[in-house]
A = this chain, B = another copy of it.
Amino acid sequence: MRIGAIEAGGTKFVCGVGDEHGNIVDRVSFPTERPEPTLERVIDYFRDKKVEAIGIGTFGPIDIDPSSPTYGHVTTTPKPGWSGFDFLGTMKRAFDVPFGWDTDVNAAAYGEAVWGAAKGLDSCVYYTFGTGVGVGIFAEGRLVHGLLHPEGGHVLTRRHPDDTYEGFCPYHGDCLEGMAAGPAIERRWGVKGSELPPDHPAWPMEAFYIGQALASTIVLLSPKKVILGGGVMHQKQLFPMIREEVKRNLNGYVAHDAILKGIDDYIVPPGLGDNAGLCGALALGLAALRVQS
């Protein structure tokens, strides 16, 4: 079986071909430009790939309501040219195959549930901490959408007592994304996160914000696995700090062994590593094929 996968990021696009076991057999990557030239490269890539379906996990916000006239469009993004662009329609006009269509983070959550850290579970939450903060939610065996899709990067967290940074979210200032995405670390400390040593005070502060958001997510949704990805999470020392913050915030309230005893196996990096997004898109494509047949 040959399924196409598109991980459409704000910075780069990754396209690939994989099979029903989550193996990626081919891939390419190129920078995200304006929509027309970018999609032209995508369409060129898939032209001779003989895929039976294509899954798209994309940056957003996007319209995921099948009954909407703008279903499949990118909605209100500041990225030049992309606002209102008919991403899914453009792809459908080029390839007559079933399409999966969701956010990059919902795709990653789904990929992790099918082949990764949440394999076999009917729920997980996927958080990415990168240029922004994104959240994908898989619950009761389904990806969650509603009016729009989850945008949990913008939950409101309490300020760390030693933190004077105002936050960079243009809507909320010091929401989670404003305080804990990669650019917040860089602006707060004056250097990129990747250049800060592992024992720098930036990391306990980062864990303070992430742990708080996760504790609230856990009481609200009770996911069976919490998966943390994105560039910032390459700082592996964050994981034990975040787990401690979650325990401190919950303070024993969620009386389940997964948290009380097994938190090292509950809050984890993506089982698919940096393939989480592309495998997630692959899983979306596979699901679209199954729905059709």
Question: What is the interface of chain A, defined by CB distance below 8 A to chain B?
Answer: 61, 75-76, 123, 135, 137, 139-140, 142-159, 171-172, 212, 215-217, 219-224, 249-256, 258-259
Contact = CB atoms under 8 A, between A and B. Distances in A.
Q: Which of A135, A146, A154, A212 has the most CB of B within 10 A?
A: A146
So how many copies of this chain end up in the complex? 2
B220 A149 contact: no
A67 to B, nearest CB: 11
Contacts of A148: 222, 254-256
Nearest to A140: B142
Secondary structure call for the A interface: loop
Nearest to A222: B146
A123 B146 contact: yes
A224 B146 contact: yes
A158 B156 contact: yes
B258 A147 contact: yes
A255 B76 contact: yes
Contact of A147 (B155, B156, B171, B222): B222
A220 B222 contact: no
Given A149-B222, A150-B221, 18 more contacts: A76-B255, A137-B221, A139-B144, A140-B143, A140-B144, A144-B221, A146-B222, A148-B255, A151-B219, A151-B222, A152-B219, A153-B219, A154-B219, A155-B216, A155-B219, A156-B157, A171-B250, A172-B253
